[in-house]
Amino acid sequence: MGGVAFVLHEQVLSWSGSTLIVLDAAGLALFAVAGAQKALNFGISPFVSMLMGTITGVGGGVLRDIVLARVPVVLQADLYASSAFVGAAVLIIGRRCGVPPVACALLAGVACLALRLLSVSYGWQLPKVMGA
């Protein structure tokens, strides 16, 4: 995707903000699920695999924002990292319950994508500490 954006930058610049949010959410889901699955493949514990999936998913967006000299989305959107964590958790739970790997990965990706897009659409945020 990065190569396409580099070569076709004029067309990418004309894309709407909502298109870019959907693509960002899809990338978050893809990398969160892939990171968690890779960690499981290496025999890492389920909880640490969820954390690895979350870090993998969020890391790409942070790098993108740093290159663009923007404040990373993960520091602005409360349910960005939480969406990645939920996607990774769905993958882990599904695998532990015996769901086939491909179906489990698809279900986990959809869970992450849906949560992220719903949080953007409805302005969902995590609770904030009063006075902070």
pLDDT score at 77: 72
- Measured over the CA atoms of residue 115, residue 118, residue 119 and residue 120, the dihedral's sign is positive
Question: Does 100 reside within a domain?
Answer: yes
Euclidean distance between CA atoms 54 and 42, whole angstroms: 16
pLDDT score at 91: 98
Domain that holds residue 56: 20-122
The number of domains in the chain is: 1
Angle at 86 between CA 83 and CA 89, to 5 degrees: 150
Question: Does 129 reside within a domain?
Answer: no
Tokens 């693509």 -> residue: 23
Tell me the one-letter amino acid at 8.
Answer: L
Question: Does 131 reside within a domain?
Answer: no
Predicted confidence pLDDT, tens digits, the chain (132 residues): 567 666 766 776 777 888 889 999 999 999 999 999 999 999 999 999 999 999 999 998 898 889 888 888 888 877 899 999 999 999 999 999 999 999 999 999 999 999 999 999 999 988 877 765
pLDDT score at 15: 78
What is the reported pTM? Answer: 0.87
pLDDT score at 73: 86
Phi-psi region of 53 (alpha: psi -120 to 50; beta: other; left: phi over 0): alpha
Tokens 């993960």 -> residue: 74
Question: Does 15 reside within a domain?
Answer: no
pLDDT score at 3: 72
Q: What is the DSSP letter of 74?
A: G
Euclidean distance between CA atoms 83 and 60, whole angstroms: 14
Q: Would you tell me the crossing angle of helices 79-96 and 101-122 to the nearest 10 degrees?
A: 160
Q: Which of 121, 65, 58, 128 is nearest to 86 (CA)?
A: 58
pLDDT score at 119: 95
